[in-house]
Structure 1
């Protein structure tokens, strides 16, 4: 069984903000070889099907930065960001999980990562 890092609310929020700040204008699109449902992926597989993984969407990249293995994230692909975080880190606050989910939903709606996090900060971190 994979041991997950211990993370705080502040670390999760800061990681999402940091990933977005490094990629403010990025608009997420799934790799063509993975895109079957128009959804985002927490982790991407390589096109050559050699099993190599890389961080995918905003929340996936932030969680991987905090030490969550990509293999673990891939097992939660059908889970929204709120449920992903509550499953992996049950002690996180509802506010933190809502912040992540809001940013993820905005990203999935075609917003840049900068816009997605700005919206989530405005609506979830008051």
Structure 2
């Protein structure tokens, strides 16, 4: 499958843009997707009543979709951490250290969101410099 090619800097900029639109948002899976008694679940894609991909779901899902990854492609990776699927959907270009930083930033943002942080707090966790 073809991957979307994008510069590392564009991934981080898109993360900032998505968060700026809903900084106080705290992710919740739609009731029809989260099973009764299930722990907090994150979905890259939310499905509609017909079980077809409908809208981006979590923060990483929004970022990747905005970068051009189709919803049906993202839906294939439900249950996979962002680090496990990122290389399958994106070809990130730029210096190696920036590429590694994007991988780490999205994983940190996803982890913060999955633990109940607002998207603004998830962005802060993702972009914090080591040692801060």
Q: TM-score range by the shorter chain?
A: 0.7 to 0.9
Number of aligned residues: 123
> For the structure 1 residues 78 and 123, does the alpha-carbon distance in structure 2 shift closer, same or farther, using more than 3 Å as the test?
farther
The residue aligned with 2:96 is: none
Query: 2:4 corresponds to which residue?
Result: 5
Query: What are the ranges of 5 or more consecutive residues in structure 2 without an aligned counterpart?
Result: 94-98
Note if contact 1:4-1:67 (Cα within 8 Å) is conserved in structure 2: no
Rate the CA distance shift 1:24–1:101 in 2: closer, same or farther, 3 A.
same
What residue in structure 2 maps to residue 42 of structure 1?
44
- The alignment yields a C-alpha RMSD, in angstroms, of 1.9
Unaligned runs of 5+ in 1: none
Runs of 4+ off more than 4 Å? none
Q: Tell me the secondary structure at the aligned position of residue 68 of structure 1.
A: coil
CA distance in 1, matches of 2:85, 2:71: 13
Per the alignment, residue 55 of structure 1 pairs with 56
Instruction: Name which one, 1 or 2, has greater alpha-carbon Rg.
Output: 2
With normalisation by structure 1, the TM-score equals 0.88
Task: Write 1 or 2 for the structure with the bigger share of strand.
Answer: 2
